[in-house]
Amino acid sequence: MKIEIYSEKTESTFGIIPFYKGSPENAGEPIHKLDAGEWMTHNGDTFFCMSPDWNQNEMAHYFRLLAMKTKKFWGKAPCVDTNLKGNALRAALRGIFISSFNPNPQHQKTAEKVILYLKSIPEIDFILHQAQAEAETQMWAMKMVDLPPSKKTPEDLGDFARQSAKKYGYDCEVWNEDHIVKAKLHALHAVGKGSQHPPVFIISKYFGRPDSKNIDLAFVGKGITFDTGGISIKGSANMHYMKSDMAGAAAMLGAIELAARLKLQLNIATVVPSAENAVDAKSVLPGDVIESYSGKTIEIIDTDAEGRLVLADGLAWTVKNLKPAVIIDMATLTGSSVRTLGTEAAALYSDNEKLVAALYDSGLSSGEKVWRLPLWSDYDSYLHSDVADVSNLSLKPVAGSITAAKFLQVFTGKHTAWAHIDMPGMSFKDSPFYKTKSATGYGVHLLNDFMHKLAENNDLTKD
Ligand code: BES
Ligand code: ZN
Ligand code: ZN
């Protein structure tokens, strides 16, 4: 989609006039009866009622809905008559861009044009550029998560990452199965070896401070392109949703793409251990004890707890080789996190108070919320194994998201600025735009907000 901005309203335009609920200049008009998110046509213009309490995702959501529902009346020259500014304007424009998104590639429209009338503000070109980059990257993440599993094998995911790196001028390497074995990424290999689509290990790097080689921020994303559960096979009801098990990877690839597009002055890496968790004669078995990159052995009790295995290697490899100042992983790790927080927030784990505060704050302003759960040592005993250093399944059928986080912590080399985000409920869910669950692109804007803060203040996470 292309948005053109004009500072003069022309005759043949369809005017959308957004206003904040309760704003005094509208008192007395019939439009004052509107609730936030509602619109009506009055004297030839469409009045759209906003709430001053909306976060950026809510702003984008309602503008997406408005644009989708009213576009057919926009004719040749639709326009939004607005005096929105700053973050609110950026989010509204993002919503208008995303209104062209359709998870069915056959129905995707690209050549749409929208003309906006905006009260002239000096930073409009910059805001429009940001909104377009944020919208396109979010749509890229959504598209990847919505793709069927046979169209996004681990190798495909590697290609997507490489294409983005080439297009926006950053580095990307994709290691194949042989390289994974040679590099001793044993846990990733154990998960991927049962699939006809071999695992890959993706390493993207963006140097926004090219005078330094140090990595300020590393992202590690769970890239399971389909999760059958493996030999501990899942029930078939809703198993098709497990195509979304690479949503953590999609968010992390989106975050680095956006950093490159917006030229943030940070050195960032995104690492994606990617595999398909398949059922096969070669699949890892329950009861097996596997090696891992860290040197620690892992007892596999349940092959469906595969995300933590690939992340164990992703985290250990990243900490050792990239030595990032801050490391954040994102994963569709547990159903337990959804039972705890529903589809309104992701579970956040970190012992770094400043990192927790910054991510919590970014969650509120972006609308991609996180809520902290504990990493206390009280839970250590849950992951005891008699035959290995650690078990991949808790001995108790409770606190599933917490024990998964505790498992990951074992592989972080006691990094002092590590955060883990368990987010299946947020990344793939019901919405008014579709009839079934679909991708949200969760994480892209949370991390975008966080990266902007980190670029401004490098002490943000120093305890
Ligand atoms: N990919 C799933 C987690 C998941 C659940 C994602 C629901 C999306 C929606 C993960 O690999 C998994 O299977 N987790 C198990 C863990 C259990 C075996 C310890 C779970 O949550 O049931
Ligand atoms: Zn699983
Ligand atoms: Zn999984």
The predicted pLDDT at position 76 comes to: 46
Q: What is the dihedral of CA 319, 320, 321, 323, to 10 degrees?
A: 50
Is pLDDT larger for residue 454 or for residue 8? Answer: 454
The predicted pLDDT at position 8 comes to: 62
The predicted pLDDT at position 13 comes to: 54
User: What DSSP letter does each residue of 199-233 carry, written as one string?
Assistant: -EEEEEEEESSTT----SEEEEE-EEEEE--TTSP
Going from the Cα of 346 to the center of ligand 2, the distance in angstroms, rounded, reads: 18
- Per-residue pLDDT, averaged over 363-376, amounts to 98
Which of these, 230, 173, 220, 208, lies nearest to 454 by C-alpha position?
Answer: 208
Token pair of 455 as six digits: 């670029």
- Measured from the Cα of 393, ligand 1's closest atom is 19
Q: Tell me, using a 6 A CB cutoff, whether residue 225 lines ligand 1.
A: no
Q: Is the dihedral of CA 203, 205, 211, 216 positive or negative?
A: negative
Token pair of 225 as six digits: 């392109």
- Per-residue pLDDT, averaged over 397-403, amounts to 98
| Mean pLDDT estimate for the chain | 92
Q: Tell me, using a 6 A CB cutoff, whether residue 227 lines ligand 1.
A: yes
The predicted pLDDT at position 418 comes to: 98
- Per-residue pLDDT, averaged over 159-173, amounts to 98
The predicted pLDDT at position 455 comes to: 96
- Measured from the Cα of 424, ligand 1's closest atom is 8
- Per-residue pLDDT, averaged over 157-178, amounts to 98
Instruction: Judge whether residue 42 has pLDDT over 60.
Output: yes
With beta carbons less than 8 A apart as the criterion, state whether 281 and 212 touch.
Answer: no
- Per-residue pLDDT, averaged over 273-287, amounts to 98
| Total residue count of the chain as it appears in this document | 463
Q: Tell me, using a 6 A CB cutoff, whether residue 335 lines ligand 1.
A: yes
Q: Tell me, using a 6 A CB cutoff, whether residue 245 lines ligand 1.
A: yes
Span 343-356, pLDDT tens digits: 999 999 999 999 99
Q: What is the dihedral of CA 355, 392, 225, 58, to 10 degrees?
A: -30
Nearest ligand to the C-alpha atom of residue 424: 1
Instruction: Judge whether residue 31 has pLDDT over 90.
Output: no
Single-letter residue type at 37: G
Instruction: Judge whether residue 109 has pLDDT over 90.
Output: no
- Per-residue pLDDT, averaged over 8-22, amounts to 68
Token pair of 107 as six digits: 């129905």
Q: What is the dihedral of CA 300, 305, 329, 211, to 10 degrees?
A: 50
With beta carbons less than 8 A apart as the criterion, state whether 350 and 375 touch.
Answer: yes
Going from the Cα of 231 to the center of ligand 1, the distance in angstroms, rounded, reads: 14
Q: Please tell me the chain's helix, strand, coil percentages from 3-state DSSP, rounded to the nearest 5.
A: 40, 20, 40
Q: Tokens 């606190």 correspond to what residue?
A: 399
Rg (CA), the chain: 23
> Measured at the alpha carbon of residue 220, what is the angle toward residues 180 and 240, in degrees to the nearest 5?
85
Nearest ligand to the C-alpha atom of residue 229: 2
Instruction: Judge whether residue 236 has pLDDT over 80.
Output: yes
Residue spans of alpha helices (H) in 16-55: none
The predicted pLDDT at position 443 comes to: 98
pTM of the model as a whole:
0.96
- Per-residue pLDDT, averaged over 20-36, amounts to 78
Span 72-102, pLDDT tens digits: 766 544 455 566 888 999 999 999 999 989 8
Q: Tell me, using a 6 A CB cutoff, whether residue 334 lines ligand 1.
A: yes
Residue spans of alpha helices (H) in 342-443: 353-366, 400-409, 424-427
Q: Residues 6 or more apart from 394 whose CB is under 8 A from it? A: 382, 383, 400, 403
Which of these, 346, 349, 351, lies nearest to 366 by C-alpha position?
Answer: 346
Query: Strands 39-42, 223-227: parallel, antiparallel or unpaired by DSSP?
Result: unpaired
Residues annotated as catalytic (active site), given as ranges: 234, 308
The predicted pLDDT at position 81 comes to: 55
Instruction: Judge whether residue 144 has pLDDT over 80.
Output: yes
Instruction: Judge whether residue 218 has pLDDT over 50.
Output: yes
Going from the Cα of 333 to the center of ligand 2, the distance in angstroms, rounded, reads: 8
Is pLDDT larger for residue 228 or for residue 29? Answer: 228
The preferred substitution site among 279, 298, 333, 408 for testing ligand 1, maximizing ligand atoms within 8 Å of CB, is 333
Instruction: Judge whether residue 273 has pLDDT over 50.
Output: yes
Give the residue, by CA position, lying nearest to ligand 1 atom 7.
Answer: 335
Q: Tell me, using a 6 A CB cutoff, whether residue 424 lines ligand 1.
A: yes
